[in-house]
């Protein structure tokens, strides 16, 4: 059902695809390395779900159909930055590539192999519709499409790897799903209504705990989303982040969220638009079981109140850890079907408020999205070139113009930032404030 919701909610100014920017370091003496990758990728044939197109049909139930044609030169592009380009130029290019919708008459993915990245590097930028893949399944495909050794040779690309997947199931009619009867459906609606009731209670001054949607205060992150994107990246040392969190009883994810929280407040202050409230983050929660690489999206969500505007970084970390624990307890209390239905219901409500422009006056569901995707702990290679950075550049949710997704990659926590370019310009400045918050947390952490 979430797959259908992603397709229905998508607009030209708010496309719903997930992307990834991978940086590789060129070995010396390999002038044809990138061209070899391009040839191999174009020779590969897509496998499910990358060989399907959606048919939302007028009178028929929505379904997936085999793509009638596949043009490898369209789906695998080979481009290069100009001589003298900076890393910021790569980020601007990625923002431009991110902002347009995928063509629904073709398989819902594209790949750009970008040469002449500064520092003797090249990049692979992947763009895939959220209806066929989520962050966890994308990370598994990346892992399967790269090698664990430095040996030459191009492994099967992500869109063609042979994983135990199936074609996406034809989704049931939306009204039938939303108006279905039975204990599972009833529990979904009760969970959604309960959360909305808490949001309304919060608006009139009541105190609420746990995951509360549509209870955020409006900020620049909630301005109408336009057809422009700003992108940034950051890498921090994984084990050091984990060690810094231990004295506060905080998880690695709590540390990342607190740093992002502090960075956003400083970024908004720098824009002369200080935010006088606690930010609310929508945090996707994967509902995939171990080994599940099937097509589509299997996520629910929690809504987490972050730190107080004037909190120190250590105070902020404690506040985030407490809020996240309470929010996750609510999702754990739901069945898998209820959690998935809850997320689909929220998506439908958010889409309806956007279409009717109610979102411009009503409280937003959240101020930003923060997502943590499990990665890999070993060095990976593409045709002998080591992977030196993997940055998720995800989708912008309806009414929420900032997404920060993190992934563990070869000893680092890699942060990918994407924002509504109309109101959140120059996101590298935000990444810089997150890094400064990290340095402040290091200084404020007990040693020994």
The HSE-up count of residue 428 (CA atoms within 13 Å, CB side) is 9
Instruction: State residue 355's pLDDT score.
Output: 52
> For residues 317, 320, 326 and 331, what is the CA-based torsion angle, rounded to 10 degrees?
-120
Which residues is 52 bridged to in the sheet? 66
**Residue 223: both structure tokens together:** 């301005």
Domain ranges of the chain: 2-160, 181-375+394-444
Taking the C-alpha atoms of residue 339 and residue 297, their distance in angstroms, rounded to an integer, is 13
The HSE-up count of residue 264 (CA atoms within 13 Å, CB side) is 33
Q: Residues 305, 350: contact at Cβ < 8 Å? A: no
Instruction: State residue 339's pLDDT score.
Output: 47
Give average pLDDT by consecutive 10-residue segment, the chain, 448 residues.
75 90 96 97 96 83 90 98 97 96 96 97 97 88 95 96 60 41 43 47 49 83 92 97 93 96 98 96 69 53 91 96 84 55 52 54 85 92 97 90 95 97 95 98 80
**Residue 155: both structure tokens together:** 């492994």
Instruction: State residue 11's pLDDT score.
Output: 85
| Placement of tokens 């042979």 in the chain | 162
Taking the C-alpha atoms of residue 128 and residue 134, their distance in angstroms, rounded to an integer, is 9
> For residues 202, 362, 184 and 129, what is the CA-based torsion angle, rounded to 10 degrees?
-130
181-375+394-444 and 2-160 share a CATH fold: yes
Taking the C-alpha atoms of residue 339 and residue 211, their distance in angstroms, rounded to an integer, is 12
Instruction: State residue 243's pLDDT score.
Output: 95
Cα 436 to Cα 221, 246, 266, 348, 391, distances in angstroms: 21, 20, 10, 37, 19
Alpha carbon distance, N-terminus to C-terminus of the chain: 50
Q: What are phi and psi of 287, to 5 degrees?
A: -105, 15
What are all long-range contacts of 68-75, with beta carbons under 8 Å and residues at least 24 apart? 69/106, 70/45, 70/46, 70/106, 70/107, 71/106, 72/41, 72/42, 72/43, 72/44, 73/42, 74/106, 74/110, 75/46, 75/106, 75/107, 75/109, 75/110, 75/111, 75/159
293, burial (CB in 10 Å: exposed 0-12, middle 13-18, buried 19+): middle
**Residue 230: both structure tokens together:** 């700003």
Taking the C-alpha atoms of residue 389 and residue 20, their distance in angstroms, rounded to an integer, is 10
Instruction: State residue 6's pLDDT score.
Output: 78
Taking the C-alpha atoms of residue 399 and residue 364, their distance in angstroms, rounded to an integer, is 7
Q: What is the CATH number of domain 181-375+394-444?
A: 3.30.559.30
What sign does the CA torsion over 188, 184, 288, 241 have? positive
Say what the pTM is: 0.85
Tally Cβ neighbours within 10 Å of residue 239.
Answer: 11
**Residue 249: both structure tokens together:** 């009883």
Domain over 2-160 is classified CATH 3.90.1150.10: no
Question: In 3D, which of 65, 345, 80, 73 has the Cα closest to residue 186?
Answer: 345
Instruction: State residue 215's pLDDT score.
Output: 81
- Helix H or strand E encompassing 33: helix 33-43
Q: Which residues contact 110 (CB under 8 A, 6 or more apart)?
A: 74, 75, 76, 77, 102, 126, 127
Residue 97 three-state SS: helix
């Amino acid at each position: 059902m979430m797959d259908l919701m992603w397709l229905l909610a998508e607009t030209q100014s708010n496309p719903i695809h997930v992307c990834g920017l991978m940086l590789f370091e060129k070995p010396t003496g390999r002038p044809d390395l990138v061209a070899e990758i391009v040839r191999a990728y174009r020779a590969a044939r897509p496998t499910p779900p990358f060989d399907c197109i959606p048919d939302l049909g007028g009178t028929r139930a929505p379904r997936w159909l085999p793509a009638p044609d596949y043009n490898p030169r369209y789906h695998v592009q080979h481009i290069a930055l100009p001589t003298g380009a900076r890393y910021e130029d790569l980020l601007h290019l990625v923002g431009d590539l991110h902002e347009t919708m995928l063509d629904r008459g073709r398989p819902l993915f594209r790949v750009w192999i970008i040469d002449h990245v500064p520092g003797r590097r090249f990049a692979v930028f992947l763009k895939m519709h959220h209806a066929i893949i989520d962050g966890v399944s994308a990370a598994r495909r990346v892992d399967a499409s790269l090698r664990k050794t430095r040996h030459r040779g191009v492994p099967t690309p992500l869109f063609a790897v042979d994983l135990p997947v199936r074609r996406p199931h034809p989704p049931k009619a939306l009204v039938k799903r939303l108006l279905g009867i039975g204990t599972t459906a009833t529990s979904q609606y009760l969970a959604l209504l309960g959360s909305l009731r808490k949001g309304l209670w919060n608006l009139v001054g009541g105190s609420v705990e746990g995951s509360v949607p549509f209870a955020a205060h409006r900020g620049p992150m909630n301005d109408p989303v336009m057809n422009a994107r700003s992108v940034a990246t950051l890498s921090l040392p994984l084990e050091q982040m984990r060690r810094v969190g231990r004295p506060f009883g905080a998880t690695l994810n709590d540390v990342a969220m607190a740093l992002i929280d502090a960075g956003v407040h400083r970024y908004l202050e720098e824009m002369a638009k200080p935010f006088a409230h606690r930010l609310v983050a929508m945090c996707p929660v994967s509902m995939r079981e171990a080994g599940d690489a099937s097509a589509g999206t299997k996520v629910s969500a929690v809504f987490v109140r972050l730190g107080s505007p004037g909190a120190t970084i250590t105070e902020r970390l404690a506040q985030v850890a407490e809020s996240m624990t309470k929010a996750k307890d609510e999702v754990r209390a739901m069945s898998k079907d209820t959690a998935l239905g809850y997320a689909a219901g929220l998506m439908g409500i958010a889409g309806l408020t956007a279409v009717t422009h109610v979102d411009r006056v009503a409280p937003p569901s959240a101020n930003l999205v923060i997502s943590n995707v499990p990665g890999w702990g070993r060095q990976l290679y593409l045709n002998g070139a080591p992977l030196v950075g993997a940055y998720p550049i995800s989708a912008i949710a309806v009414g929420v113009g900032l997404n920060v997704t993190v992934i563990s990659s070869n000893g680092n926590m890699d942060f990918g930032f994407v924002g509504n370019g109309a109101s959140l310009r120059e996101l590298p400045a935000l990444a810089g404030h997150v890094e400064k918050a990290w340095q402040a947390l290091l200084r404020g952490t007990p040693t020994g």
